[in-house]
Amino acid sequence: MLLNMETMEIRTITKDNFSEVVEIYKQGLATNIATFQNDLPQWEEWNKGHLDFCRISIYENSKMLGWTALTPVSSRCVYAGVAEVSVYVAQNTRGKGIGKILLNELIKQSEANGIWMLQSGIFSENQSSIKLHEKCGFRMVGYREKIGKKNGIWKDNVLMEHRSKNIGMD
């Protein structure tokens, strides 16, 4: 599939396009290296669990190619500017730069909303996601061995973060 950057459009994730989010998430679940989750979320659950800004999707010709969103890392006020990243790209468009567009837009929008630190927990075997995050300025800050089980198998997790150079520098 050839992608035309000029015809791509960034849109906000809403209840109206959430079924497309779920379809791409389902493709991520099928890899067994994208998330510890095994179930597909319903809108109410997903909406409640994610920040109400930085709900970003990318489209080409009315087809969602990928999405990204933020989850708060804590309810404590001192961590109000820290959020965890989710980024998913449709199976047929992986490796074509969609993830990079999404993460760079997420960084821009998150800073506009006062987020000074983005973090991602990535399965150690998900090398394409680790490389994507590195390309977008994330750095590895930790390695969590056997942090959780996915389908009965212990998984290691690479902790990566992106520190804003613009927000929270006082």
Domain range summary for the chain, segments of one domain joined by +: 6-119
Task: Tell me what pLDDT residue 163 has.
Answer: 96
Contacts of 5 (CB under 8 A, 6+ apart): 101
Contacts of 54 (CB under 8 A, 6+ apart): 68, 69, 70, 83, 106, 109, 110, 113, 115
Residue from 105, 82, 65 nearest 159 by CA: 82
Token pair of 134 as six digits: 């590195």
Task: Tell me what pLDDT residue 2 has.
Answer: 57
Task: Tell me what pLDDT residue 7 has.
Answer: 83
Which amino acid, one-letter code, is at 114?
G
Task: Tell me what pLDDT residue 3 has.
Answer: 65
Q: What is the pTM of this model?
A: 0.94
pLDDT per residue as tens digits for the range 77-136: 888 899 999 999 999 999 999 999 999 999 999 999 999 999 999 999 999 999 999 999
Token pair of 140 as six digits: 């590895």
Task: Tell me what pLDDT residue 108 has.
Answer: 97
CATH homologous superfamily of 6-119 equals Gcn5-related N-acetyltransferase (GNAT) (3.40.630.30)
Task: Tell me what pLDDT residue 128 has.
Answer: 96
Angle at 86 between CA 11 and CA 22, to 5 degrees: 65
Which amino acid, one-letter code, is at 92?
N
